[in-house]
Amino acid sequence: MKGIISFVWELAKIGVIAAIIVVPLRLFVFQPFLVKGDSMVPSFHNGDYLIVDELSYKFRNPERGEVIVLKFPYDPSQRFIKRIVGLPGETLEIKDGKVAIYHPDSQDAFVLDESQYLDGNLQTPGSVRVQLKEGEYFMIGDNREFSSDSRSWGPLSEKYIVGRMIWKVFSLNTLAALVNSK
């Protein structure tokens, strides 16, 4: 009997220690996110399970090219996943299928090179020119033809940024395919 009580006590201590470590991490640092929809194809697909870092933007600013989870400005209860293409103070122009960025201190623009994460032949539909204010970002989904993003709802205020995607854990579609193949 004494052995069982000792075992239960040790198990309870492990549970309490795990809760002390895991709960604050889950509440204040990392958050799971399930991708719904195809706005980020080919980078992320419907059913992908991601881990989002909610802490790093408290110490540094978001950077161009990062994938973030955001609160949809017109309904903050909804979460979207998008890529940052325009930074505060910049002027962004979408024209002839290209994204051009103008820095605040120059009239010269550069065409955004997204070949690191998108097919080089991808065109960005739309015709937009916007001056981003302090604390505003321009977001676009990787599936440029079928993404609701800053091209339709405008610049995103930093107050709507939840965090940055740091890890794709698994895909529910892949997991379902593995289970069904057995």
3-state secondary structure of 161: strand
DSSP 15: H
Q: Which of 92, 119, 95, 114 has the alpha carbon at shortest distance from 104?
A: 92
Q: Are 59 and 95 in contact (CB under 8 A)?
A: no
Residues belonging to the chain: 182
Q: What angle do CA 111, 79, 93 make, to 5 degrees?
A: 20
Distance of CA 140 to the CA centre of its chain: 11
User: 163 pairs with which residues across the strands?
Assistant: 69
Give catalytic residues, as residue numbers.
39, 82
